[in-house]
Amino acid sequence: MKAGRNGKIILVPTKNVIRMTRTMEQVGAGLEKIVAGSLRRSPAGQGPVLAWALACGQAVAVRTKALDFAQGILRVEVPDVGWRAELQALAPQYLAVLNRNVAESVRRIEFVVVAREIPRQEQAI
C-alpha cells in the first residue's frame, strides 16, 4: 500500500501478489486438464451432456438442461424462445469449449423449448 498525491491509499502489486496470481493461473490450468480428462473418459454420449454446464457457465446452467447427445448433436432444454435465440448466438463459443473438453465431436447444439404444463387452476380461469 502507498499514499497517493490526493491522500488516498492505493494498492501497488508486490512480488507476492504476482507470484500468487501465477500460481492460481497454474492451478486453474491444472484443474481444467483434470476435468477435461474425466470428461473424455466418460461413457459414450455422456461427455457432451456432462460438459454442458462447464461450457455455458453457472448462470446459464441453472436455467437450461442438457438432454442428450447423439450423432454429433447436443440437445439442450431452454425455458423459452428468447433464451433459445440468445443461446443460439453463443453456440459457436459453447461448441469450442465442448470440443476442447470431450472426446466426441459436437457438431451442433440444438436448443429445445419444452412446453410447460399449465396447472389446472390456470386452465379454469
CATH code of the domain containing 61? 3.30.300.180
Same-domain check for residues 106 and 51: yes
Global pTM reads 0.68
Return the pLDDT at 114.
83
Return the pLDDT at 21.
66
- Beta carbons of 54 and 97 less than 8 angstroms apart: yes
Same-domain check for residues 64 and 82: yes
Percent of the chain with pLDDT over 90: 52
Same-domain check for residues 13 and 72: no
Q: CA 64 → CA 91, 110, 111, distances in Å?
A: 14, 12, 9
Pairwise pLDDT comparison (12 vs 89), residue with the higher score: 89
Structural domain containing residue 5:
1-41
Asked if pLDDT for residue 19 goes beyond 80, the answer is no
Q: What is the dihedral of CA 58, 99, 35, 90, to 10 degrees?
A: -10
**Number of domains present in the structure of the chain:** 2
Q: How far apart are CA 85 and CA 98, in angstroms?
A: 19
